[in-house]
Structure formats: C-alpha cells, structure tokens
Amino acid sequence: MESSSKSNERLVILFRRAPESDLQELYERHEVAAADGVEALVDEIRRDGSNTLITYSFRSGEGVNYDEIVKGVADTVGVKYDPTQITDEAQLELAVAQHLIRKYFDSLTPEQRASFQEHLDSLGEKYSDFWRQFLEADAMAILALVQVLGSEVVARLLAQVIGRLIVIRGGTLIAGRLVGLVIPFLNVALAVWLAIDIAGPAYRKTVPTVFQIALLRLQYGE
C-alpha cells in the first residue's frame, strides 16, 4: 500500500457523509472547531499523525497523508498483515479495529469473558457465530467477513459487541447513544484504554482516531 493524497480526499468524503454528531469526538480530540468543517479536521488529523511518525518540520506544517497514519498505527499496535494484499487505508483500518477489539477482549478476566459470552448467547446464534469468526479471522479473513455479511450488518453487530465489552469491563455508556454504530461512548472507556494500554502517549490521538474512523467507514463509507 503506497502512500497517497487520495486517502485524504477519501477521508473528507467520509466525514461529509457522516452526521456532525458522529464526528464530535474527533473534533474534540484533535482540537478543531466543528464550524471549521471536515477539511480542517482532516488537516489536523494529518498534522497530529505527523507528530507520531516523523519530524514535523519536514512537512512544512502540512502533515503526512492519512494512509501513512493508519500504517503507523497498525505497525505500533502489532497488526499482522501482508502488505501486498492490503490495497488501501480502509482495509488496514478494519484490520486495526479488529486487532484492538480482540486485544480488549483478551484483557477481560475469565469471569468477565463468561459474562460476555452469556450476553451474546442471549442475543442469538447470529451474534455468537459472528464473534467466533471475528476472533479467529486474520487481516484478510476479516475483510472477507465484511464482504460476505455486508458492512451495515457488521456495523450493527459490532455496536452490540463493543458496547457490551465496555460495560463488562466496568465502563458506562451514554444513555441513548448506542444507536447503529454511533461512537461518542468511546471516550468513556475504550478510546482511553486503546491509547494508554496499547500505544503509549505518542499515539493517544491517532490510535483511537483510526479505530473510530474504521467504524465510521463501516457505517457511512462506500
């Protein structure tokens, strides 16, 4: 996957499709006013990503391309993938999201995992089967899973899974916000854990942002 400015353009298109409320957390994390628009948000994400990848002055303040940020996050958190089979940043985002959710699940105690599985079983076989496949899939298999089930179905399944993982680990959800794949609850528990427990201080912005964008792309992307 070669770096391309097209990844920045695709991110602008994605943000234009998403409701502003779904982008609120991104605006806040990257300290951009919503009134400045999605182009300003993408620019700031790129600048923040530059701070974690290379010396900022090398880019004259413009920031690295977004797909470079995704690759940097994938490498930092330890995603295993064949770069010759990943064609764009959207595919690698999804592999990052799967890897981090799986890591979050691995951090649960045996009792918490049992409670989580009991909840999935109560939801029905569809959820249990999806979670089993999700846990076992490698980077390419997770792409195939999305293609088979459809991104909207995967988005709905993940909303239930992520929400329950947060609650079981002791977090809370903002009442009424877990609709479809609306993500504002991430800053309650999951984004904090992703940034601190896995990536360290240098990636406190970019890791949860790439994760969040992956989920937004499932819901609003092409």
pTM assigned to the model: 0.82
Write down the pLDDT at residue 179. Answer: 37
Q: State both tokens at 72.
A: 């940097």
Q: Best-predicted range by mean pLDDT among 2-6, 50-54, 77-81?
A: 77-81
The answer to whether 92 and 69 are in contact (CB under 8 A) is no
Write down the pLDDT at residue 52. Answer: 66
Residue 216 has pLDDT above 60, yes or no: yes
Q: State both tokens at 136.
A: 């076992």
Average pLDDT over the chain, rounded to an integer: 79
Write down the pLDDT at residue 31. Answer: 93
Write down the pLDDT at residue 54. Answer: 55
Per-domain residue ranges of the chain: 6-220
pLDDT in tens, 19-70: 888 888 889 889 999 999 999 999 999 998 887 665 444 455 678 899 999 9
Interatomic CA distance for residues 1 and 206, integer angstroms:
19
CB neighbour list of residue 181: distance below 8 Å, 6 or more residues apart: 155, 156, 158, 159, 215, 216, 218, 219
